[in-house]
Amino acid sequence: MSAEPLAPATGDSPDDAADRQPHSPAEAESGGAGAGSTSGGAGSGGSGPGGSVWAGLRPLVLRLHFYAGVLVAPFLLVAAVTGLLYAGSFQAEKLVYAHELRVPVGDRELPISQQVAAARKAHPEGEISAVRPSPEDGATTRVLLSGVRGVDPDHTLAVFVDPYTGKVRGALEQYGSTGALPLRTWIDEFHRDLHLGQTGRLYSELAASWLWVIALGGVVLWLSRRRKKRTLRAVALPDRAATGRKRTMSFHGAVGLWVALGLLFLSATGLTWSTYAGANVEDLRTALGQTTPTVSATVGGGEHAGHHTGSGSMPGMDMGGTDEAAGHSADVGLDTVLAAARAKDLDNPVEIVPPAEPGSAYVLSQIQRSWPEKQDSVAVDPATGEVTDVQRFADYPVLAKLTRWGIDLHTGNLFGLVNQIALAALALALILLIVWGYRMWWQRGRASAFGRPIPRGAWRRVPLYILVPLAAATAVIGYYLPLLGIPLATFLAVDIVAGEIARRRGATPAI
């Protein structure tokens, strides 16, 4: 998800003159753009924070805020709307798939091996990639099958079994480690890539890359505009007495200030698993030794092997007995394996992944993402039922923990319903900010036209000792966030060409 810029509100500052002269250069320096920003011109910023430095920086921040908001806002709007839908998909999923997910509570649960046998009898196709025992009273057990005809290769077929009777309640496609079913999967993919695959992911990365820039710029502009009104109400609450553009600005700025921290969080966490910026983040974590550890699935020592949930299982495995077709020796079975994990304090919910190949172990992992998270995992020797390796979430490196928490908070899992309500509120606020931003731009114009854009040449006002390190920092950030750097470089190139054309035509020099 992403956000619209945060803009100034009512005006009793020198910026008010801009409202009365909507087509003057002064107004362009103070008027709200589609990004929803505005503030006083550089001259009026001299008394603001930083004195002359801020007077030089303010026009540059305003220009960047304006154009970034105008050009990125459509992407942010799509991310906000789809994010709002996703926030509600958790509860919708419980209603739509209630028959598969819930059953009457019985007296005693059947052994997990019997439940798996019932699922395989109803759905003999494919391979067992994982089993998720009933996590609580009244919840079904999921047996996950991969390689099933007609099921997306990146998904599994989840067979839902009544743990008390062994009756199969149905089967649905499942995606991801959070167990998303078709409805939530569709909305999730719509939010992530618009169902356009890898190419579609560029839209969300673009939005996340620019969100923090727009939000931070808006906060700075808003606070500097309100510098003469230092009361909490003037800064944090809209002015209901204002009218016209001032009223729109007031709501845009106040709401934007309230949600700024949440928008910055969404930007940062969204980038951690984006295509290009996410790869850079992963490289940095690797260099710092902060990658997420995995339990070793190798039986009898050997190299520490990575484990990937959903990888294939042994063909024909019956989860307890000899698999003669595949030539594998008998193992202790699911019930013994699960008991071994319970002895290591792996309580519900857990996922059991069978050995991927001869010489490997069962891997049992806790899969609860809500607070407090349960992310411990163990490996169990299929021949002896002994635990061969243990990985505790408490032992994760700091950045690995922060990444896990950040993703789970971003996706609405960490605090359950409260988390999802907060995400929905952020998405709704973002939609309103975008609408208010464009409305301000419209209200600043005349004769049913949008207001004039911010004039060129703002960088000339920035002191050289600020401009040089600022340009260097921008280049570094743009390198690591390519969907910030490439559009910014493109804009600068177009801007330079447009300025040169205007100069040759004898247009008024940019201020």
Quote the number of domains for the chain.
Answer: 2
Q: Which of 374, 395, 416 is the endpoint of a domain?
A: 395
How far is 491 from 486, CA to CA, in rounded Å?
A: 9
Q: Residues 250-294: pLDDT tens digits? A: 999 999 999 999 999 999 999 998 999 999 999 999 999 999 999
Q: Is the pLDDT of residue 226 over 80?
A: no
Q: Is the pLDDT of residue 178 over 80?
A: yes
C-alpha distances in Å from residue 422, one per residue of 66, 268, 412, 418: 28, 17, 8, 6
How far is 487 from 494, CA to CA, in rounded Å?
A: 10
Interior/surface letters 233-245, b for 16+ CB within 10 angstroms, e for the rest: ebbebbbeebeeb
Q: Is residue 384 part of a domain?
A: yes
Higher-confidence residue of 250 and 308: namely 250
Element containing residue 202 per DSSP (H, E) = helix 197-225
Percent of the chain scoring above 70 in pLDDT: 81
How far is 277 from 482, CA to CA, in rounded Å?
A: 7
Q: Reduce the DSSP state of residue 99 to 3 states and report it.
A: helix
Closest by Cα among 192, 185, 135 to 157: 185
What is the per-residue pLDDT for 431?
97
What is the per-residue pLDDT for 19?
37
Two tokens, residue 433: 């900010």
Q: Is residue 154 part of a domain?
A: yes
Q: Is the pLDDT of residue 20 over 50?
A: no
Q: Residues 417-435: pLDDT tens digits? A: 999 999 999 999 999 999 9
Q: Is residue 125 part of a domain?
A: yes
Q: Is the pLDDT of residue 328 over 80?
A: no
Mean pLDDT of the chain: 84
What is the per-residue pLDDT for 411?
96
What is the per-residue pLDDT for 509?
47
How far is 435 from 444, CA to CA, in rounded Å?
A: 14
Q: Could you tell me the pLDDT band of residue 173, with boundaries at 50, 70 and 90?
A: very high
What is the per-residue pLDDT for 227?
63
Closest by Cα among 443, 120, 28, 83 to 313: 120
Measure CA of the first residue to CA of the last residue in the chain; give whole Å. Answer: 35
Q: Is residue 455 part of a domain?
A: no
Q: Which of 136, 164, 192 is the endpoint of a domain?
A: 164
Q: Reduce the DSSP state of residue 390 to 3 states and report it.
A: strand
Q: Is residue 146 part of a domain?
A: yes
Contact between 143 and 353 (Cβ < 8 Å): no
Q: Residues 72-117: pLDDT tens digits? A: 999 999 999 999 999 999 999 999 999 999 999 999 999 999 999 9
- Provide the residue range defining the domain that includes 136: 104-164
Q: Is the pLDDT of residue 452 over 80?
A: no
Q: Is residue 280 part of a domain?
A: no
What is the per-residue pLDDT for 507?
57
Maximum average pLDDT range among 11-20, 48-57, 216-225, 275-284: 275-284
Q: Is residue 319 part of a domain?
A: no
Q: Is the pLDDT of residue 366 over 50?
A: yes
Q: Which of 114, 129, 164 is the endpoint of a domain?
A: 164
Strand-pair partners of 131: 143, 352
Q: Name every residue whose Cβ is closer than 8 Å to that of residue 116 and which is 6 or more positions away in sequence.
A: 128, 131, 143, 161, 319, 334
Contact between 145 and 125 (Cβ < 8 Å): yes
Q: Residues 123-134: pLDDT tens digits? A: 999 999 999 999
Element containing residue 226 per DSSP (H, E) = none
Q: Could you tell me the pLDDT band of residue 56, with boundaries at 50, 70 and 90?
A: confident
Q: Is residue 414 part of a domain?
A: no
What is the per-residue pLDDT for 503?
79
